[in-house]
């Protein structure tokens, strides 16, 4: 980041377009010290972006309709089957975890009565167990009490391989759960577990009711009527759901928090595009909140000038990246493309991957598209700061990419496309339909053409690309092309679950209905060993070193090509209050506390 860019970012903080927390974390990510960042704040006299509220709600309801926009529409309402944040967020309106993660990554009790710790004796010193005390005043929307039986059931449900739950990784290392009484459980782990809050917390920890799902475990899991008509414990009760379109909820009159929620109804409208969503909040004021503003930054700045809304940035670990398929998407084996039984015809050649890495102009992507909403990076794992590798670097160099390909025997043909052993460097590059992503594709395509690689661009409707439809080959988890790009979200302030996207046992395949998290189908024994070591390492310094090693293995082997480290960007009405964003949790992590000033 040069001086001009830094001044522009400081202007954004001063104007309230970028939060102080996001600025602090991004500067720390660049290697600046906390005292130096503090001096920057003092020098520019940065004011708080959010106006101080005149009052807080003193009663439940009365706030009318809360209108929110998700330009990627949810397709289901069972959190154990969610394949993307839009499904997790839709579920979070109705379902709740034991605890959430605030903007600083702290554990905040939701269905738990308090937070376990070493100090209160609820976290074992050897890391082998954690005890949770549960709220006694929480009930399911149908009036049934929430108890320890529900928590134990969710573990059994998700851990059953026949359920094919996307959350199964959260519960894999639990040896057993002891029900100590009706509202106390003790989770016993198979090995020492430094990140004891992984199960039942955050966006992957939402709990479903035993009495409605008990008959639909395992192979019957997809048959449950409640998959589309949730009965949760959250601040809003289910009213209506049209998959790929809209979710509606109404105030839960029995919610356990006094004077919450403020709104009488909530609407989560899906579909459309990010620019229209931004305009509906920032310019027309038709909506109160819009998710994931993947919009060119100059457009966002123009829309903010109306004064009807603002952009909020919450930095976490989200990364926009390009994946390189390790398997063959054009050969079908036993009814499955990109089968683990195949090898990609040319992306298994390290020279080709090295060339592609040099042909992604991250600097241009940040400057021309993302601005303050994306930071060019060479790392897949960027946060928290203690796990960010300092040895990696990115480079854009068409000439060097060409030299690498030439030396590896990839020669240009009469058509300008390189080939070797009868295989041409022609690839299909897919992503979801979204203006910044299509511009990103064009930047990469143009650079590849100069180096002799022919790129065919494919763009898929977001509601299809990010759906959980096991029969649709155009989903990102099927990965039916050579390369693809999207943002993968880090939903916890600990990288263990985030980095299991590359372990061998998480390969997405027909056998698990393409619910496995390892979409690139990469398998590496050293990576697997390092991930397992981090899972049980209780020394935080040694554990951070292991995560850095995992990141470096990905970058050295060029399994993925990081593009920009993305803060979570939301468009928020100037009248909406307490909608504090966390880079570590669902956008709706504290929706019970949202309210609107008259």
Where do the domains of the chain lie? 95-233, 319-491+559-566
Residues with Cβ within 8 Å of 136's Cβ and at least 6 positions away in sequence, in order, are 113, 183
Q: What is the mean pLDDT of the chain?
A: 91
Pairing of strands 423-424, 418-420: antiparallel
The H or E element containing residue 186 is strand 184-189
Residue 38 confidence (pLDDT): 44
Residue 77 confidence (pLDDT): 97
Backbone angles phi, psi at 313, to 5 degrees: -115, 125
With beta carbons less than 8 A apart as the criterion, state whether 158 and 165 touch: yes
The fraction of the chain above a pLDDT of 70, given in percent, is 91
Total residues found in the chain within this entry: 598
Between vectors from CA 370 to CA 383 and to CA 396, what angle results, nearest 5°? 80
Question: 6: pLDDT confidence band, cut at 50, 70 and 90?
Answer: low
With beta carbons less than 8 A apart as the criterion, state whether 264 and 67 touch: no
Residue 41 confidence (pLDDT): 45
Structure tokens at 389: 């590798």
Surface-to-core class of residue 390, CB atoms within 10 Å of its CB (0-12 exposed, 13-18 middle, 19+ buried): exposed
How confident is the model over 235-246, as pLDDT tens digits? 999 999 999 999
Q: Which of 185, 201, 203, 200 is nearest to 129 (CA)?
A: 185
- Segment among 53-67, 435-449, 516-530 with least mean pLDDT: 53-67
Report how far residue 185's alpha carbon sits from residue 243's, in angstroms, rounded to the nearest whole number.
35
Residues with Cβ within 8 Å of 38's Cβ and at least 6 positions away in sequence, in order, are none
What CATH code would you report for 319-491+559-566?
3.10.105.10
Between vectors from CA 25 to CA 23 and to CA 31, what angle results, nearest 5°? 105
pTM: 0.76
In angstroms and rounded to an integer, the radius of gyration of the C-alpha atoms of the chain is 24
Q: Over range 299-318, report the average pLDDT.
A: 94
How confident is the model over 123-156, as pLDDT tens digits? 999 999 999 999 999 999 999 999 999 999 999 9
SS3 66: strand
CATH superfamily of 95-233: Dipeptide-binding Protein; Domain 1 (3.90.76.10)
Question: 445: pLDDT confidence band, cut at 50, 70 and 90?
Answer: very high
């Amino acid at each position: 980041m040069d001086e001009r860019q830094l001044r522009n970012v400081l202007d954004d903080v001063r104007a309230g377009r970028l939060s102080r927390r996001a600025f602090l974390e991004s500067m720390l990510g660049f290697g600046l010290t906390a005292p130096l960042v503090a001096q920057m704040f003092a020098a520019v006299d940065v004011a708080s972006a959010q106006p101080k509220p005149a009052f807080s709600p003193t009663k439940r309801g009365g706030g009318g309709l809360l209108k929110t926009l998700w330009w990627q529409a949810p397709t289901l309402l069972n959190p154990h089957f969610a394949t993307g944040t839009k499904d997790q967020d839709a579920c979070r309106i109705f379902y709740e975890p034991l605890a959430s993660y605030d903007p600083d990554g702290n554990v905040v009790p939701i269905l738990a009565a308090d937070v376990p710790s070493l100090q209160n004796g609820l976290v074992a010193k050897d890391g082998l167990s954690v005890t949770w005390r549960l709220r006694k005043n929480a009930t399911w929307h149908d009036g049934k009490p929430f108890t320890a039986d529900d928590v134990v059931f969710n573990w059994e449900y998700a851990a059953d391989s026949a359920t094919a739950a996307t959350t199964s990784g959260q519960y894999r290392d639990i040896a057993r759960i002891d029900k100590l009484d009706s509202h106390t459980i003790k989770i016993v782990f198979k090995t020492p577990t430094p990140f004891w809050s992984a199960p039942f917390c955050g966006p992957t920890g939402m709990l479903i009711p035993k009495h409605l799902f008990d008959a639909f475990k395992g192979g019957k899991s997809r048959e449950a009527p409640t998959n589309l008509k949730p009965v949760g414990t959250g601040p809003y009760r289910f009213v209506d759901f049209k998959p790929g379109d809209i979710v509606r909820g109404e105030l839960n009159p029995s919610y356990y928090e006094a004077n919450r929620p403020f709104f009488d109804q909530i609407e989560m409208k899906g579909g459309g595009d990010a620019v229209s969503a931004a305009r509906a909040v920032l310019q027309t004021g038709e909506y109160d909140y819009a998710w994931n503003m993947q919009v060119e930054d100059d457009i966002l700045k123009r829309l903010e000038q109306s004064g009807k809304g603002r952009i909020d940035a919450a930095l976490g670990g989200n990364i926009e990246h390009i994946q390189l398929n390790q398997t063959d998407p054009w050969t079908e084996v036993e009814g499955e493309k990109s089968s683990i039984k195949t090898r990609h015809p040319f992306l298994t050649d390290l020279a080709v991957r090295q060339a592609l890495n040099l042909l992604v102009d991250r600097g241009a992507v940040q400057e021309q598209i993302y601005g303050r909403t994306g930071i060019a990076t060479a790392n897949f794992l960027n946060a928290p700061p203690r796990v960010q590798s300092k040895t990696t670097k990115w480079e854009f160099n068409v000439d060097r990419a060409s030299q690498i390909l030439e030396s590896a025997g990839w020669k240009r043909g009469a058509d300008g496309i390189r080939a070797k052993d009868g295989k041409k460097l022609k690839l299909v590059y897919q992503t979801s339909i979204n203006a910044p992503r299509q511009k990103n594709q064009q930047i990469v395509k143009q650079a590849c053409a100069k180096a002799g690689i022919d790129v065919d661009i494919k763009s898929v409707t977001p509601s299809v690309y990010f759906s959980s439809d096991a029969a649709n080959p155009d989903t990102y988890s099927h990965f039916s092309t050579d390369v693809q790009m999207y943002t993968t979200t880090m939903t916890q302030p600990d990288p263990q679950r985030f980095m299991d996207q590359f372990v061998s046992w998480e390969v997405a395949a027909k056998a698990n209905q393409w619910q496995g998290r390892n979409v690139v189908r990469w398998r590496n024994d050293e990576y697997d060993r390092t991930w397992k070591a981090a899972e049980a390492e209780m020394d935080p310094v040694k554990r951070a070193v292991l995560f850095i090693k995992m990141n470096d293995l990905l970058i050295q082997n060029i399994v993925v090509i990081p593009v920009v480290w993305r803060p979570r960007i939301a468009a928020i009405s100037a009248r909406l209050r307490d909608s504090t964003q966390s880079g570590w949790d669902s956008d709706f992590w504290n929706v019970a506390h949202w309210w609107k000033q008259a």
